[in-house]
Structure 1
Amino acid sequence: MIYWQSFSLINNSFQFFYVNNPPFFQELTAHLGERISVNADVLEAHGAGYSYHECMPPDAVVFPNTTEEVSGIVSICAKYGVPIIPFGAGTSIEGHVLALRGGICIDLREMNQVLEVNKDDMYVMVQAGVTRNQLDELLEGTGFFFPIGPGVNATLGGMASTRASGTNAVRYGTMKDNVLALTAVLPDGKIIKTGSKAKKSSAGYDLTRLLVGAEGTLGVITELTLKLHSEPETIYAAVCAFPTVEAAVATAIKTIQKGVPIAKIELLDAAMMRAINRYSSLDYEEVPTLFLEFHGAVAEVEAQILKVEVYAHSFGAAGFVWEKDEARRKRLWRARTDAAPSAMALRPGAKLMSTDVCVPISQLAKCIVDTQLDIEKMGIMAPILGHVGDGNFHLTILINPEYKEEFERAKALNERLVRRALAMGGTCTGEHGIGVGKLQYMALEHGSSLDMMRAIKHAIDPQNLMNPGKLLPEI
């Protein structure tokens, strides 16, 4: 019997914890003590994420320390039919953390222990609440690094849940390529371990990759075993300006097609270059620009540089600005990392609608150019940046959701972009995930494959308690 009931007050701006059956609250309190919050500010902080989506808070937030505590929370919720929303750092941008049906938010921030660093076998074991910055700091000076880095200080559990990637993906892959094993709590409270510390396996279904990218709809990831990579002997970075977006993208495409093992190759259009100049007090030329980075031994890095310079000049590049000094290189990439807040500073008070289609690289230039024409026609402010080495790019659409007509134009721009990408053989999301923001495109992209996804969801979560309303459109 389901006892849970959630209700909203004050124009749905936040929800209050309410349980018809007092034993639910008593059991949760007995399990966690005071690590439960129904404070209105805490609830609101857990109901938005980093996007334009309207805040939809949970009814309570809990703060477990261990996998066993998460198991107990989930078991109690399953008993009473209470929805569960896993929460990392709250940096997702597609509404992944919205409590669409109320329920309990499981905040994993206190599960932030690094459990093992194994240099011999090149892996690290962490709890899900460890952030990427925390891991970077721990690994500094060890000779190893973890390559996946989205533009925010996300938790590693959240990064796995959304199958995140970032600027290094063109060489090192995404989270799905760098998670060896997981510990997770299923919707009935059962604890499972998937994968192993071996580099490969052909034993059974790949449950690790099933959970990586599931957006918390199949269970709560509590621990991860991640691949480490050796720090390169040499790292060179560069900025290269181009006369047009087509020229910059053509250089990126040729670099990839010729097999240059470049670590990063990022595109910023003229509008985004203007934004980072203002935000970071820089003086780069405000034209389409590639940010590049090369990893490896000195001789091979210098050989890569010579090749890419030739390609760039053949497409009209104005010249390269190379950064070998570590401090200057980090300053360059800090400007790129700050692209989203830089864009938002162009329009103070605006909300961010960020797109992230990904297309085959041969289609990338046309996709971007056609999209720029749409931006101009619709009169929308939307600087572009992209991980163009793997065909992924973003519009940072700046909107005021209260202006209905503007909001509708922004949504129309996004829909045209997604349909264009799908028609080119691409995807509606390269790294942000579906959440609620891209639900409407799942059928268009996957067709009858959605039936199999729904069958998996129903088999694992028959009560539909795990992050309900996300990833899969309603049947």
Structure 2
Amino acid sequence: MSVPSPTHRPLSGEVASLLSERAGSRFSQGDSIRLQHGRDESIHEPALPDGVLLAESTQEVAEVAALCHRHRVPMIAYGTGSSVEGQVLAIHGGLTISLAGMNRILAVHADDLDATVEAGVTRLQLNAALKGSGLFFPIDPGADASLGGMAATRASGTNAVRYGTMRDNVLGMTVVLADGRIIQTGGRARKSSAGYDLTRLLIGSEGTLGIITELTVKLHPIPEAMSAAVCVFADIDAAVKAVIQTIQLGVPVARVELLDALTLSAVNRHSHTALKELPTLFFEFHGSPAAVGEQAQTVQEIAGALGGQDFEWATRSEERSRLWQARHAAYFACLRLKPGCRAFPTDVCVPISRLAECIQRTNEDIAQVAIPIALFGHVGDGNFHLVVLVDPANPRDLQEAEWINERVVERALQMSGTCTGEHGIGIGKTRFMLREHGADAVAVMRAIKAALDPHDLLNPGKILPAG
């Protein structure tokens, strides 16, 4: 439900009339489209905007932002709605600006290994357009998210251990500010020392500082050879130690994912696979045929010394795709473990040397609750997820989920980690910001927000704690 704020005004009939004149049928206040854009994949209840605009261009976004700024109407940028911390919920009402229709690939500079796209372009769309070029865009959060949304949440995913996150793969952006001004951040050069790094400031700001409408992203050569492998372990601790030793030895794995036994059980049923239902590592290696072979042999030796068994290889692209599709479906597979449930997600990240201890102690907590909890994650960079399955109508489920979430976040912070490795803050983790960053750092964030958006119109109520 929308929460009134003294700095905001509802989307009035006057503003609605002006939006209708400008956009025609691309502006709507119908219940169905408002509901579609007032929810995401999070545990949070839908919060509907007063209206939805399907934007067509940067200029239109800028003109609409200026209109909303004059009338103090909140604005929420919307991509595909795949966020899991309530980032797109219109908790203060206002206008949702959907960028899904801004999905043109504006330029591909193959010689310079970059591409410029509109914010609504999805990662699969970009990679389909790059087919035959020998290049690809590596950031893979699982969902076919929009690149604008991925930049706004500083997304990463299974390839981050080798290729980094969106922070590392965005060169520049076109951004609309709260008052309708259009700014360009960064550029196409691979490095710059010219002034404040506004690109990095806006990446991860979750639409609270500006609306990203275009991005220039890095592309990478498709490796000459790729090989994937699955290896099972008797317990999670041994699997995590294998990952830690692999990273510490400097083996350049492209992906390394951990799935626990419960997750494997769900994946097998959902994806019709026959993987052993034991703690399992999924690996992928990229490079020349010789390098891939050497990497795989090293990892197999490390895993074998820690009890890893049944290395199964997938070298054909179809086999690899099926393997990783099963991994990407893990979240939705886990939802089917408890029909009618919702997922209460947690995704902490810790220094790699503390990962085994963090997961071990988390599993001790999981053993104390009755609700099903699946564990998987991008352990190559210290990031793991819990999918805590709850009945939203059951107070005990919610109490146990809150307890687990609090425990795992507090533990991560004590280990010099973070409350979120890739999901972002949204409304779900605002209470951890002071604990993670301290009052002075949060005050600086508030000052930046106030300087760029003094009337708190851009995605209000997200990231920063109240007060």
* Segment drifting more, 415-424 vs 346-355: 346-355
Distance (whole Å) between structure 2 residues aligned to residue 464 and residue 51 of structure 1: 23
Equivalent position of 1:391 in the other structure: 382
Equivalent position of 2:446 in the other structure: 454
* Segment drifting more, 278-287 vs 85-94: 278-287
- 1:117-132 matches, cutoff 5 A: 117-132=108-123
Amino acid at match of 2:417: G
* TM-score after normalising by structure 1: 0.96
Amino acid at match of 2:236: V
- 1:29-428 matches, cutoff 5 A: 29-428=20-419
Q: Residue 32 of structure 2: SS of its match in structure 1?
A: helix
Distance (whole Å) between structure 2 residues aligned to residue 182 and residue 234 of structure 1: 32
Following TM superposition, the consecutive aligned residue runs of length 4 or more in structure 1 with deviations greater than 6 angstroms are none
Q: Residue 428 of structure 1: SS of its match in structure 2?
A: coil
Distance (whole Å) between structure 2 residues aligned to residue 381 and residue 149 of structure 1: 27
Distance (whole Å) between structure 2 residues aligned to residue 105 and residue 47 of structure 1: 8
Amino acid at match of 2:56: N
Amino acid at match of 2:101: E
Amino acid at match of 2:453: D
Amino acid at match of 1:104: L
Distance (whole Å) between structure 1 residues aligned to residue 30 and residue 362 of structure 2: 44
Match of 1:441 among 427, 432, 440: 432
Amino acid at match of 1:393: F
CA distance 1:287–1:91, change in 2 (3 Å): same
Deviation string for 1:273-313 (max 9, x for gaps)? 11111111111111100000000000011011111011001
In structure 1, runs of 5+ residues without a counterpart are 7-17
Q: Residue 181 of structure 1: SS of its match in structure 2?
A: strand
Amino acid at match of 2:464: L
Deviation string for 1:138-189 (max 9, x for gaps)? 1122100000011111100000000000000000000000000000000010
* Segment drifting more, 177-186 vs 366-375: 366-375
Q: Is the 8 A contact 1:32 1:69 kept in 2?
A: no
Match of 2:458 among 436, 441, 466: 466
Superposition deviation, residue 35 in structure 1 = 1.3
Q: Residue 192 of structure 1: SS of its match in structure 2?
A: strand
Distance (whole Å) between structure 1 residues aligned to residue 249 and residue 108 of structure 2: 36
Percent identity reads: 51
Q: Residue 373 of structure 2: SS of its match in structure 1?
A: coil
CA distance 1:372–1:4, change in 2 (3 Å): closer
Q: Is the 8 A contact 1:3 1:80 kept in 2?
A: no
In structure 2, runs of 5+ residues without a counterpart are 1-5
Amino acid at match of 2:402: K
Distance (whole Å) between structure 2 residues aligned to residue 90 and residue 191 of structure 1: 24
Distance (whole Å) between structure 2 residues aligned to residue 285 and residue 40 of structure 1: 46
Q: What is the RMSD of the two structures over their aligned residues, measured on CA atoms?
A: 1.1
Deviation string for 1:63-102 (max 9, x for gaps)? 1100000001100000000000000000000000111110
Superposition deviation, residue 404 in structure 1 = 1.3
Deviation string for 1:179-209 (max 9, x for gaps)? 0000000001000000010001111000001
Superposition deviation, residue 4 in structure 1 = 6.2
Superposition deviation, residue 53 in structure 1 = 0.5
CA distance 1:43–1:278, change in 2 (3 Å): same
Q: Is the 8 A contact 1:218 1:461 kept in 2?
A: yes
Q: Is the 8 A contact 2:41 2:83 kept in 1?
A: yes
Q: Is the 8 A contact 2:52 2:96 kept in 1?
A: yes
Equivalent position of 2:3 in the other structure: none
Amino acid at match of 1:449: A
